[in-house]
Amino acid sequence: MSAAPRPTASVADEGAALPVPGRAAFWLVGLTVVAFLSASSAPSPLYVVFQQRWGFSELTLTTVFASYAIALLLALVTVGGLSDFVGRRPVLLAALALEATSMVIFLSADSVPLLVLARVVQGLATGAATGVASAALVDLQPAGTQLAGVVNGAASTGGLALGALGAGLLVQLAPHAITLVFVVLLAAFVALAVPLWFLPETVRRRRGALTSLAPRLAVPPQARATFVAVLPIIVATWSMGALYLSLGPSIAVIVLHLTSHLAGALVITLFAGAGAVASVAARNRAARPVMLSGSAVLAVGTSVAVLGVQTGAPGVFFLGTVVAGAGFGTGFLGAFRTLAVLAEPQERAELLAAVYVVNYLAFSLPAIAAGLLVPHLGLQQTATGYGVVVVVLALVVLVVAATQRLTARRQVA
């Protein structure tokens, strides 16, 4: 999750009577991002269990997953900027309450419609939290640092890894694990509500809240050519993330014949965890080289993972997963930073909204397409074809970059 830089302000005297100190508040918001993203990935290792209980298809599974992504996108492009008008703390607390509500729905879910409802509510909550948490991190980051972007990215991908691993461990080792997963998450959100109530407010209330709810997407003229050029890697990274978060555990169980629920969770954990580590490691490198190296790494890793799927070799698949995860983290980081610097401050929010639309459409529609193909091609061949498309998209970025470099050299000559 990322946001355009905003001027740091402090209006804590208008908010909580005993606000959390600035540095502690920064890390509190970072912890909140971890909690939201952990909750978003926790259901993924459980899909196989739900599928066995209720007997639904891969299409239904991917539809449940996509409902979350679409709801998240809807919230992001509508209430993503609301906190600029009503304050960070009210929006963050409202998102927290909505997330807690989704945990309650998960606890009572005994059918697919309730599972979809829980994911939709969770997507709305996470989308609302995405914009405000990104902005709050920028507002509260220690003076003279650029920690907000690093913490935001690492907390997001790290949270995905943590949520999947925690859910997998509970399902594998604990009794009544599904109930326990959502009880633990519900308790975490209730516990977070207390310190977040005392979060220092950095925004003064102003008019325009209702107007801000109208989605505004635009790519400024100076960024359009670059937007088109980086579009393939944005689609490739988020499509690959969708495959792992929706069908990854099913691949482990059905294709690789791994019976442990922990193995299904590790698929997601290794992918997201590698992305978190790689993005932190690349934080100080120039954006374009990070994007291009990420594209190459994603292509190589995905190819190895596809080889593991085709041969039924878990070790090869997990190796490819780690490499592809590193490409996921760095490829998108480089693309995002490449675009962000091309917009003027007053244009940046609309440009980032356009990027988010591409992100979450790539995070949902390809997963649904995969679910449609599984009954006809089988999970193994569908995953293979999906991986091949991701590799092609990643290579397109490299070919375009090489062509641009060659053209530039000819012009200089």
Residue-wise pLDDT for 2-24, tens only, equals 444 444 445 544 445 467 777 88
Tell whether 178 and 316 lie within a shared domain. Answer: no
Angle between helices 147-173 and 22-41 (to 10 degrees): 40
Q: Is it the case that residue 289 has pLDDT exceeding 60? A: yes
DSSP 8-state code for residue 222 = G
- Give the residue-averaged pLDDT of 351-360: 83
Tell whether 266 and 297 lie within a shared domain. Answer: yes
- Give the residue-averaged pLDDT of 185-208: 90
Q: Is it the case that residue 293 has pLDDT exceeding 90? A: yes
The pair of three-digit structure tokens given for residue 327, joined into one six-digit string: 């490409």
Tell whether 106 and 222 lie within a shared domain. Answer: no
Q: Is it the case that residue 148 has pLDDT exceeding 80? A: no
Residue type, 102: S
Tell whether 257 and 308 lie within a shared domain. Answer: yes
Measured CA to CA, the distance from residue 29 to residue 237 in angstroms comes to 26
- The CATH number of whichever domain residue 58 belongs to comes to 1.20.1250.20
Q: Which residue has the higher pLDDT, 221 or 135?
A: 221
Tell whether 340 and 290 lie within a shared domain. Answer: yes
Q: What pLDDT does 31 receive?
A: 94
Q: In the chain, pLDDT over 90 holds for what percent of residues?
A: 51
Tell whether 220 and 206 lie within a shared domain. Answer: no
Tell whether 278 and 366 lie within a shared domain. Answer: yes
**Residue where one domain finishes, among candidates 182, 214, 246:** 214
Q: What pLDDT does 6 receive?
A: 43
pTM of the model: 0.84
Tell whether 106 and 180 lie within a shared domain. Answer: yes
SS3 341: coil
Q: Is it the case that residue 66 has pLDDT exceeding 50? A: yes
Q: What pLDDT does 345 receive?
A: 63
DSSP 8-state code for residue 258 = -
Tell whether 157 and 50 lie within a shared domain. Answer: yes
User: Domain limits at 138?
Assistant: 1-214
- Give the residue-averaged pLDDT of 23-39: 92
- Give the residue-averaged pLDDT of 219-247: 91
**Residue where one domain finishes, among candidates 199, 214, 229:** 214
Task: For the chain, give the mean pLDDT.
Answer: 87
Q: Is it the case that residue 104 has pLDDT exceeding 50? A: yes
Q: State the total domains in the chain.
A: 2
Confidence of residue 193 (pLDDT cuts 50, 70, 90): very high
Tell whether 205 and 221 lie within a shared domain. Answer: no
Radius of gyration of the chain (CA): 21
Q: What pLDDT does 7 receive?
A: 42
Which of 61-70, 115-124, 336-345 comes out lowest in average pLDDT?
336-345
Tell whether 189 and 226 lie within a shared domain. Answer: no
Q: What pLDDT does 11 receive?
A: 54
**Residue where one domain finishes, among candidates 191, 214, 237:** 214
Core vs surface per residue 184-216: b (16+ CB within 10 A) or e: bbbebbeebeeebbbbbbbbeeeeeeeebeeee
Tell whether 195 and 238 lie within a shared domain. Answer: no
